[in-house]
Chains A and B, each alone.
Chain A
């Protein structure tokens, strides 16, 4: 039988307990550590919860999660990255967006306003120059990404 040893936490690491409340995950952040015996002076202060949803998905109705499946935007974006895309943001110069040109499937590209084109960060891919008669459909602008390490 193999015995698995649990790693010991060093002094500089504190295990942060987290709560699951419905769909929202919050991490409870404690200042200082708790001592037994004397009542904690922090008890009177409401604990502060950090919510990733609140910070990154402030407008859920205008937020879409989209997965990267190609390397056209490498190294900025990598395969399997999950993009947090916001449809309430305007398409500004140099922003990365989910777009469809002339009703093709959606792709992820960088917008170059000055040259009026959609660029791929990966030099192996061609840029697309937008012509007058082209229709550009924008699903939203990529604002954040989630990547497993």
Chain B
């Protein structure tokens, strides 16, 4: 059996964890730069659609007394870690699927009352981290997704935990699930299925195997089996990330190469820092720049370049040197760039670092980076930067309604009277 544990309205729940007056009140959380709504509490859902543009809804937020927050990823990330760690004490195998979702293998736990076990998990997570979760338990991963939806939708009846353990329950749940809501079905698949008269997950399970394989390939067949209760998809082991990326859309367009270089250098340093934090190196670097594709009236240009590095590295200095090289190669004058990014690839752990006979990084980089990380983490801000990064605050994200970083910053701890 598999369980899918999903945090209820995760970002909103994080904002509530340290501020009980927000319980039961409508909350929305905005994307980076306060662009649009990326999370809503249940109370806000009736008034604000997902992805609503912030400035267009300012009036609605005011009229409905909706609490608006800039995204506070240090807080969400820390609480997510806490939730995942608590979950891993309930099963030896869990797969962290996203910031607020995890699959858990319950094989060997079948003799337990799984509803009880699920409730124990839910209670423990709530007690230790103050984050409410819903849990769906079923014989396969795809079915556990559906069970989770039922647990969430009928929270008062299920108590937030639903076990899909009999054939009758499964048939009922599959008939209740629209085909386009099935996990991993994709828009193209579901449109094609709807055209052939398949409107629920149940209809899909009734299709002949040969037909599904022919029309929807192995992927479709795998999904059909999963929905029939035959487990095909196993938990994915946690690996070191295959690629690390930092990409951003700019608030206003950038045309000159100097400013672009400054942005890309900063992105490269952010990638390098992420690499150092997980103790790994990269040996390939990709950068891209592109104009605003939505503005059909403007001249369009987009280009990327992949560079092989002479040795594995996680040094700010090395990465930024290659970023500048790459940018010089792909930059074209006369365009208004809207987005750029740096992606570090070919990632290997610290232990697998090969020694190159002819070309190696200056060993001083390693020491320097350690010192920089230590000072920056102590100051809580990026005070030490490379000289080709901007030291002024001009690029600081727009975060007008940011809550405190209660769990990650000494100066922003919760204060009690």
- Those of A89-142 within 8 Å (CB) of chain B: 98, 100, 103-108, 137, 139
Which residues in A have their C-beta under 8 angstroms from that of B81?
61
Interface size on A, residues (CB 8 A): 25
- What's the count of A-B pairs with C-beta under 8 Å? 67
The CA-CA distance from A61 to B417 in the complex, in Å, is: 24
Closest to B126 in A: A87
Does B167 touch A at the CB level, under 8 Å? no
A67–B129 contact, CB under 8 A?
Answer: no
Q: How far is the CA of A139 from the CA of B17 in the complex (A)?
A: 8
Q: Quick check: is B127 within 8 A (CB to CB) of the other chain?
A: yes
Query: For B415, what are the chain A residues with a Cβ–Cβ distance below 8 Å?
Result: 66-69
- The CA of A67 and the CA of B413, in the complex, are separated in Å by 6
B54 within 8 A of A: no
Q: Contact mask A48-69 → B, CB, 8 Å, 1/0? A: 0000000000000110111111
Residues of chain A lying within 8 A (CB to CB) of residue B86: 61-62
The answer to whether B21 touches A69 (Cβ under 8 A) is: no
Which of chain A's residues has its CB closest to B411's CB? A67
Complex Cα distance A108/B374, Å? Answer: 34
Option from A66, A67, A98, A103 in Cβ contact (under 8 Å) with B23: A103
- Nearest residue, chain A, Cβ from B23: A103
Query: Does A61 contact B416, Cβ atoms closer than 8 Å?
Result: no
User: Does B19 interact with chain A (Cβ within 8 Å)?
Assistant: yes
Contact indicator B130/A87 (Cβ below 8 Å): yes
Whether A103 pairs with B21 at a CB distance below 8 angstroms is: yes
Does A137 lie within 8 Å of B128, measured CB to CB?
Answer: no
A86 CB → nearest B CB, Å: 9
CB within 8 Å of A: which B367-417 residues: 374, 406-407, 413-417
Complex contact A70–B129 (CB within 8 A)? no
Interface mask (B16-30 → A, CB under 8 Å = 1, otherwise 0):
001111011000000
Q: Which of B54-96 contact A (CB under 8 A)?
A: 81-82, 85-86
When distances are taken between beta carbons in the complex, the residues of chain A under 8 Å from B19 are: 105-106
Question: How many residues does chain B have at the interface if contact means C-beta atoms less than 8 Å apart?
Answer: 22
CB nearest neighbor in A for B128: A62
Closest to B17 in A: A139
- In the assembled complex, which residues on chain B have CB atoms less than 8 Å from the CB atom of A66? 413-416
Q: Which residue of chain A lies nearest to B86 when distances are taken between CB atoms in the complex?
A: A61
Question: Given A67-B413, A69-B416, A88–B20 Cβ distance below 8 Å?
Answer: no
Asked whether A67 lies within 8 Å of B20 as measured between CB atoms, the reply is: no
The answer to whether A61 touches B20 (Cβ under 8 A) is no
Asked if residues A61 and B413 are in contact (CB atoms below 8 Å), the reply is no
- List of 7 A-B pairs having minimum Cβ-Cβ separation, nearest first: A70-B417, A69-B415, A100-B20, A62-B128, A61-B82, A103-B20, A108-B416
Can you spell out 12 A-B residue pairs with CB atoms less than 8 angstroms apart? A62-B128, A64-B407, A66-B415, A69-B416, A87-B128, A98-B414, A103-B21, A103-B24, A104-B21, A105-B20, A137-B20, A139-B130
Apart from A69-B417, A106-B416, list 20 A-B contacts with CB within 8 A.
Answer: A20-B374, A61-B85, A61-B129, A62-B129, A67-B416, A68-B415, A68-B416, A70-B417, A98-B414, A98-B416, A100-B20, A103-B20, A103-B21, A105-B19, A105-B20, A105-B417, A106-B18, A107-B417, A137-B20, A139-B414
